[in-house]
Amino acid sequence: MRTGQYYLNKGGSYRDFFPEVLSLSQGNAYVDYAFHLAPMSAQHIEEIPFLVEEFGVTSFKIFMFYGSHGLHGRSTSQSDFLMIPPDERYDIAHFEFVMRGVQKAREILTEYAPHISLSLHCETAEIMTAYTKLVEQEGTLTGLRAYSASRPPHSEGLAVTIASYLAHETQLPNINLLHLSSEKALSAALTMKNAFPHIDFRREVTIGHLLADVDTASGIGGKVNPPLREREDVEALWRHMLAGDIDWVVSDHACCRDELKFGADRGDVFLAKSGFGGAEYLLPGLVGEGTKRGLSLQRIAQLLSWNPARRYGLPTKGTIAEGYDADIALVDPNVEWTVRAADSESTQEYTPFEGFDMTARVTDTFVRGHQVFTDGKVVGDPIGTFLRRGR
């Protein structure tokens, strides 16, 4: 969650903004939830210790590509899009000051320190702006391949390198490199791990980038940031997964209805919104495709549950054991089915996975022992609660 356009469409202090977020969320979730918060302004950086202590928010985020881009493409006015003071910039210097603010909070709030971390969406704004212009001027590429070319993989690698050096400079040890989508991004992340062994880097990929590519995804509904890539990058992600280089896999669930997703020209990828739903395909996709490739069920449980729960300060989550919450998903690993948006519980009317054949399926889901999903339907009452993290 962050201030600015596309979310609650307002700026200002998190002291005022975040209680409103919690109020709007309460009573609407079927699973337990927490929030990462993005410090967009100098005021937000000052509020980090307050957010940790008052609300148990221990994870913070930087969107590195917002320098000259909005969430879905070019932005003519950064201050208007982000709703930050006109004399402030959301740039590399701001990223450094965020890191210093997060590290200061770790030093002040020592009992929270192991679970306070900073996550980064690693793409370089200037590279993306220049390549978007090139792709549109040349006009030879269309669809998801055009969008991938407009946000090239070396943009990720450069951003990873910049973020890692800033972590070294600010001595912030807990860094999460989010939704890495390419071989260049992963190679840069592993290079930085070796360059700065005192930084505890965690590396994340999404189920979308593991299952779909620019050719196999169903239409420009597959527009997402970072973009879906070529098949070579998909295979590279799996190689790194099997080599143990990935710390967790996520859905990066960010969807909207059809009328909001697509522009006036439904075939123009640059007019479409970014993001799609992935939560319901995360576990079946990783169990089905992962086990075929040699990924063990134990490793899948670590990638989806144990590792992120430990990093993000969720002491009662992440495993099936005495003293932990009875959060259990039952998976049938021997069922074949085809993804159809029309069959989904989501109000999203499209999916980039349309027509994909799956070989595993979630049959039942329990949250703290309460059944919330069965027979393909969400059931019961929304019993999910906000989780204060870090202690």
Express each pLDDT in 139-165 by its tens digit. Answer: 999 999 999 999 999 999 999 999 999
In a domain, 382, yes or no: no
| pTM across the whole model | 0.95
Q: Provide the H-helix boundaries in the chain.
A: 14-25, 42-46, 48-55, 78-82, 92-108, 125-138, 143-150, 153-170, 183-195, 207-211, 231-242, 258-261, 279-292, 297-301, 307-311
Which tokens go with 47? 């509020």
Q: What is the DSSP letter of 27?
A: T
Kindly give the interhelix angle for 125-138 and 143-150, rounded to the nearest 10 degrees.
Answer: 140
**Residue 52, pLDDT above cutoff 60:** yes
The reported pLDDT for the residue numbered 332 is: 97
202-225 pLDDT per residue, tens: 999 999 999 999 999 999 999 999
In a domain, 177, yes or no: yes
**Residue 6, pLDDT above cutoff 90:** no
Query: 10 Å Cβ neighbour count for 324?
Result: 16
247-301 pLDDT per residue, tens: 999 999 998 888 889 999 999 999 999 999 999 999 999 999 999 999 999 999 9
Instruction: Name the nearest CA neighbour of 167 among 236, 87, 106.
Output: 106
The reported pLDDT for the residue numbered 128 is: 92
In a domain, 328, yes or no: no
Instruction: Name the nearest CA neighbour of 73 among 226, 310, 273, 217.
Output: 273
In a domain, 370, yes or no: no
175-202 pLDDT per residue, tens: 999 999 999 999 999 999 999 999 999 9
Cα–Cα distance, 346 to 292 (Å, whole number): 28
**Residue 68, pLDDT above cutoff 60:** no
The reported pLDDT for the residue numbered 67 is: 61
In a domain, 190, yes or no: yes
User: Whole-number mean pLDDT of the chain?
Assistant: 94
In a domain, 108, yes or no: yes
- What is the share, in percent, of the chain residues with pLDDT greater than 70? 97
**Residue 72, pLDDT above cutoff 80:** no
In a domain, 4, yes or no: no
337-382 pLDDT per residue, tens: 999 999 999 988 999 999 999 999 999 999 999 999 999 999 999 9
User: How many domains would you assign to the chain?
Assistant: 1
The boundaries of the domain holding residue 179 are: 14-322
CATH number, residue 150: 3.20.20.140
In a domain, 384, yes or no: no
**Residue 330, pLDDT above cutoff 80:** yes
Q: What is the mean pLDDT of residues 233-249?
A: 98
Under the banding of pLDDT at 50, 70 and 90, the label for residue 92 is: very high
Q: What is the DSSP letter of 227?
A: P
Catalytic choice (252, 325, 343, 375): 252
Q: What SS3 class is residue 205?
A: strand
91 is catalytic: no
Beta-bridge partners for 250: 206
**Residue 73, pLDDT above cutoff 80:** no
